[in-house]
Structure 1
């Protein structure tokens, strides 16, 4: 039991560190993962490393090649665009439905998240955390099980691209302004307005992501 627990803890540590390196671009798109070298670098055995790699492959943050090799996936502009387009549609739907279902307590909770987002807008990681929490809260209020299921699948993919949209202070300020407008529309029970704000917010993130990865020469197109 203790051995299994230790192995799981080790795999979680490796997973967290590899994921951080992928999302921060320390491991650049197209990089091949060599198990012996990575095992040495992370000071872990091959077993927890392989478990972590399998988990990252399941999340599409690593890619299994037909030859057996494992790569950090390339950034495909077409795939990025499609991903954000679907996310925009889902966020718009959930914002619309949240208008009909939000209680006074829900609005108070959204306002609390918005206040924390505003307080932390100068700090990339914290601003992202509260922005993500606000979107999750809107999804929870909408309580559309199918929309949430698809949204949860997309969120794990979008996480790879938040690095590109969250580092610039002006982009964080823009996102905060959008969040304010979204909470105001939901509180005022204006479904069309809330849906449009949510949609445009995600499309703005899409466009910024595509701009940055193109400027950095990271896209495969």
Structure 2
């Protein structure tokens, strides 16, 4: 009987830990989505109490979720001031864009081999939805993030997916800068269409070139928008 109770207690503890982990992941995902949507911007101070109230939870899980986001460099703790959405310099953003371009290009090469007709159809549907969202950056940008993640996901390489996601998270603010104008969003989505055509054709070389060029184009638009070096995804 005692052994049975011990086994049940261990099981309950594992279930509680799983529920806690799921809650933290849910909160972290919601916070990241707020940054993607522009509700939280670079340099904004994060009010744990207000967020806990908004998310319907206590401050403890919010604090733990913020620590997860700090590890992924989306937020940063400032001594005696609290937690803030992380800001990066234009130079650092440009360097991250170069890394992201290489990762995205490699993902394209792999995706061209892996993509099925059903995958291509799903991607085309995302591009169609983005066409409809072009007039407003707040509508376009989250869909753009989703499409890029889907493209990289087709690489079938978990480490590549994680690396791309980590780099991209640090660039949310600057990626939005590169998509502020309707012309930029139209150009971006036209490039998406060309990329998907290359995947449908199974052309790995072309997919790699187009996906690398897509990120470099976004970098130039970002630099132009913020007045950095270059001529301005």
Measured against the shorter chain, the TM-score band is: 0.7 to 0.9
C-alpha distance in structure 2 between counterparts of 1:25 and 1:40, whole Å = 13
CA distance in 1, matches of 2:168, 2:149: 10
Higher relative contact order (CA 8 A, sep 6+): 1
SS of equivalent to 1:142: coil
Equivalences, count = 208
Deviates more, 1:161-170 or 1:171-180: 161-170
Q: Which position in structure 2 is the counterpart of 1:135?
A: 148
- 1:57 corresponds in structure 2 to 70
- Per mean C-alpha deviation after superposition, the further-off stretch among 91-100 and 206-215 is 206-215
TM-score (norm 2): 0.70
Structure 1 gap ranges (5+):
216-221
The 8 Å contact of residues 15 and 53 in structure 1, kept in 2 or not, is answered as no
Residue in structure 1 matched with residue 38 of structure 2 by the alignment: 24
CA RMSD of aligned residues (A): 3.5
Match of residue 163 from structure 2: 150
CA offsets 1:92-120 (integer angstroms, 9 cap, x no match): 01111111222222221222222222222
- Give the 5 Å matches for 1:169-188: 169-188=182-201
* Paired position in structure 2 for 1:117: 130
| 2:232 pairs with 1:210 | no
3-state DSSP class of the match of 1:64? strand
Contact 2:178-2:184 within 8 A present in 1 as well: yes
Partner of 2:106: 93
* Residue number in structure 2 paired with 1:218: none
Q: Which piece of structure 1 moves more, 53-62 or 97-106?
A: 53-62
